[in-house]
Amino acid sequence: MKIALVTACLAGVAHSKMAAMALKKEAKKRGHEIVVEEQGGHKIPIKLSQDQIDGADVVIIAKMVKIAGQSRFEGKPVLDVSVNKAVRNPSSIMDQAEELLN
């Protein structure tokens, strides 16, 4: 399946990056395609394109602060989780994402 992932943390230096890495690794292991947008205080995020969002089967949002542009994902199945959980337990989040589709 195709996943669009948005991660967001307080300063945009540590947790958002680690959560993205953990979930990317988990997705690769299970043979899913994944595109990532990292958000956080001190940087300009590389935004997901509209095509990437449209093409995704499921959207995962791993956050500890409000994400910018939540409305882009209206009408998509969205899984909302904490960024800490994504760092520590990526496989359970991937399970949840798979369940969301079935």
Partner 1 sequence: MKFWEETKTIFKNTGMHFRTGVSYMLPVILIGGVAGSLAVLGGTEIADGTIWKILKDIGEIGLHYFVPVMAAYTAYSICDNPGIAPGFIVGILAQQIDTGYLGALLGGILVGYVTYMLLKVQLPSMLQSTWGFMAPVFSTILVGLFLFYVVGPPIAALMAFLTDFLTNLGEGGSGILGAVMGFLGGIDYGGPFSKTQSTFATAVMDIDLFVPLGICGAIVTVPPLGMCLATFLRPKLYTKTEKEYAKSSWLYSIIGGFTEIVIPLAAGDLWRVTVATAIGSTVAGIIAGYFLLELSTPVLGVAQWFFYDKPLIFVLSVVIGSITVALVANLLKSMSNRDIAQLEREEEEEMD
d(Cα 58, Cα 34) in Å, to the nearest integer? 10
Of 3, 4, 5, 9, which is the active-site residue? 9
Burial of residue 9 (number of CB atoms within 10 Å: 0-12, 13-18, 19+): buried
Query: Closest CB to partner 1 among 38 and 56?
Result: 38
* Nearest Cα to Cα of residue 52 among 40, 63, 67, 36: 36
Type of residue numbered 59:
V
d(Cα 78, Cα 98) in Å, to the nearest integer? 12
9 has catalytic annotation: yes
Binding residues (CB under 8 A) for partner 1: these are 9-15, 18, 40-42, 63-66, 84, 87-88
Query: Closest CB to partner 1 among 12 and 20?
Result: 12
We find the least distance from the C-beta atom of residue 92 to partner 1, in angstroms, to be 14
We find the least distance from the C-beta atom of residue 69 to partner 1, in angstroms, to be 10
Count how many Cα atoms sit within 13 Å of the Cα of residue 27 in the half-sphere of its side chain: 21
We find the least distance from the C-beta atom of residue 49 to partner 1, in angstroms, to be 22
Query: Closest CB to partner 1 among 23 and 87?
Result: 87
What positions carry a catalytic annotation? 9
